Chains A and B, each alone.
Chain A
């Protein structure tokens, strides 16, 4: 994941003519269950000269799910999952449909409204 983020930051910096990146804002979906400190450490290991002074700002976004069958919305909680399910969702967040059911009607047909994946919110720096 860190590799993908750094690749994308470098592509954006190149495209926008940013010589020195100063701030990278990242939004991590809760469903991904990524430890912020581990991600920050992995990113620091991949710093290029263009990213030498960059600050990585990582924000975790709560995962909100909405049932397509009954319309109920609820927040994801890994506490209700077994270890295997939790690990599976960490690697492939969409596999949540295998392990999670709507708490109201039991349907697996729900939408992940927010809180999946990793998104690059902004890349700032000196041109």
Chain B
């Protein structure tokens, strides 16, 4: 028995120049915010960008971007709609506001299905908002995607950084490129995370201070683009 879906994934991605997985060892560090803002900033700069929310059980990028009543077009596959200048794909097109209670094998199957049917067309960059941790999605993507690079997000918390180190270890052992690390929701002037990152031989991409205005900008992309988060992400573009 052969599952034919995996054979078409490479074909679907052939005109995508760069794939960035925004990932972390822990949840709640701001991966979705970094992924969404990065996608928005790049789209504003004129890049052809796609954003794919792969956190199937807890998707949130649609809330950050204020994705309205849009649907993919079915045309020998699925063409993601354009939202705020970027091609946007999420399981919410199929689940709506309902819960998506999936076990690991189901997550894996849903991922392969969506990768096989989604037609991204020509993109400068596809940004993947990853679920937390080193689970099925990370392992499947590493197996199925020829070119994938990871951008790691942590907070200043030692707990978050410890889990991030494990993720980086795994990626390095698999020879998967790590673009660098973003320290999010920084609340003091400590350089501990930056020093530890550079000690591991990785690029420290940005320190994003905690910004209380971010919460007010949920669903309002113009306001989001005016936040410190957005400015910091814009300033790290040259390092990606």
Contact = CB atoms under 8 A, between A and B. Distances in A.
Interface of A: 1, 3-5, 7-9, 11-12, 27, 42, 84, 88, 91-95, 97-99, 108-109, 116-121
Given A7-B11, A88-B94, A108-B101, A94 B4 contact: no
Given A92-B91, A95-B110, A4 B116 contact: yes
A26 to B, nearest CB: 9
A93 B91 CA distance: 12
Contacts of A84: 96
B192 interface: no
A98 B109 CA distance: 15
Contacts, number: 81
Contacts of B1: 27, 119-121
A77 to B, nearest CB: 19
Nearest to A26: B4
The 10 closest A-B pairs by CB, nearest first: A8-B4, A88-B94, A4-B8, A7-B7, A4-B4, A120-B2, A94-B110, A94-B106, A8-B7, A108-B101
Interface string B58-85: 0000000000000000001110000000
B102 to A, nearest CB: 6
B191 interface: no
A93 B101 contact: no
A51 B95 CA distance: 38
A84 B98 CA distance: 12
A98 B91 CA distance: 11
| Chain A at the B interface: SS class | helix
A9 B2 CA distance: 9
Interface string B1-44: 11111011001000000000000000000000000000000000
A7 B4 contact: yes
A65 to B, nearest CB: 12
Given A1-B4, A11-B7, A119-B3, 18 more contacts: A3-B8, A3-B77, A5-B4, A7-B4, A8-B2, A8-B4, A8-B7, A91-B78, A91-B117, A92-B114, A94-B102, A95-B91, A97-B100, A97-B102, A98-B94, A108-B101, A117-B5, A121-B1
Contacts of A7: 4, 7-8, 11
13 contacts: A1-B4, A3-B77, A4-B116, A9-B4, A27-B1, A42-B76, A91-B78, A95-B91, A97-B106, A98-B99, A118-B3, A119-B1, A121-B1
Contacts of A120: 1-4
A91 B94 CA distance: 8
A80 B94 CA distance: 17
B184 to A, nearest CB: 30
B7 A116 contact: no
